[in-house]
Amino acid sequence: MSYEEMHMAANDTIAKVVFAGMRFLMAGLMLIIGLLLANRKSLKVTKRQFRFLIVFGVIQTALQYFFFYNGLAHTSGMQGAILSSSGTFFTVLIAHFFYRNDRLNGAKTIGLIAGFGGIIVANWGQSFHFVFQFNGEGYMILAALTGAIGTIMAKEMAIGIHPFALTGFQLTIGSVLLLLVGLPQMQPGAIVFTPLGWVLLIYSAFLSAAAFALWYSILKYNKAGEIAIYKFITPVSGAILSAMFIKGESLNMAILAGVALVAAGVSAINFKKKGNGTDCPKKEDRWPEIQILFDNNVISSYFLGMNLL
């Protein structure tokens, strides 16, 4: 709706990057200003934490959405939906090697299969091609990978930083980089700001602030490999909301079947024995080799190296 209202061309990737930068900058400032008014102490971070926040903002916001929008412009609808959802798989996989108490098991495997199946079924009928372009499918995979790395970083950093402050700093830092990249390349008139357009921008910024802040709050106290499955709900929910609010879109059996499969995947993850509680991360829960990486202040280079894989 925002793209249509602001007359952004469907293939104008730079305009979408700039719009995302504006949305995330507003979202980040909403959270920071809100904390300044309500809980100023939660904004205090050490120099070491702030260095990690810069790396986190670059990975989780700037790189992820740069790869996402540029990759999406060179992939089909179904391929884009599937590859963007692969971030859930990467999160579960990284958590398996990162935390001793978050190993890949039968329930997670069933959840992943059902979730991916739901995404495929919900997007059934869209074009799909067995091709690979680095600036298309490759960028989508990198977007998913950076998002997964950012999830683990967020869980670790939430130990010492309030989740809302973590979200505000991350969105603000990452959005500034998106705007620095996008604004010089944007063509005049690529985005037309109307009164309704401003309302939609502010509304989307509020949604981003709320969604990320709540996600990091939940992530702090739960296992990343388990709650990551819930991200399969996002594209399916998008299909349902599109059918409700966008002209020409409608609910069909494929979308309903996709919802059922995603629900089955989430149910599989939540079907577990008694005694499994929350999981605020502790050093002893990490594998020794990775614990050394954190304790020796080389987290930034470690995650940047993984980002290039």
Q: Quote the pLDDT of residue 306.
A: 35
The predicted model scores a pTM of 0.74
The closest of 80, 88, 89 to 127, measured between CA atoms, is 80
> Which of 39-43, 131-135, 184-188, 228-232 bottoms out in mean pLDDT, i.e. has the lowest?
131-135
Highest mean pLDDT among 141-155, 166-180, 274-288, 295-309: 166-180
Residue at 135: amino acid letter: N
pLDDT tens-place string over residues 86-129: 778 888 888 888 888 778 788 778 878 887 777 777 666 665 55
Q: Compute CA distances 66 → 16, 21, 123, 138, 288, whole Å.
A: 10, 10, 23, 12, 33
Q: Both tokens of residue 15?
A: 């305009």
Place of tokens 């098991």: 105
Which one has a higher pLDDT value, 81 or 309? 81
Category of 134 on φ-ψ map: left (φ > 0), alpha (ψ -120 to 50) or beta:
alpha
Q: Exposed (0-12), middle (13-18) or buried (19+): which is 159, by Cβ within 10 Å?
A: exposed
Which one has a higher pLDDT value, 261 or 176? 176
pLDDT tens-place string over residues 126-158: 655 556 677 777 888 888 889 889 888 888 888
> Which of 157-161, 165-169, 245-249, 259-263 bottoms out in mean pLDDT, i.e. has the lowest?
245-249
Q: At what angle do helices 163-182 and 64-72 cross, to 10 degrees?
A: 50
> Which of 72-76, 158-162, 288-292 bottoms out in mean pLDDT, i.e. has the lowest?
288-292
Nearest-angstrom CA–CA distance, 87 and 224: 12
Q: Quote the pLDDT of residue 274.
A: 45
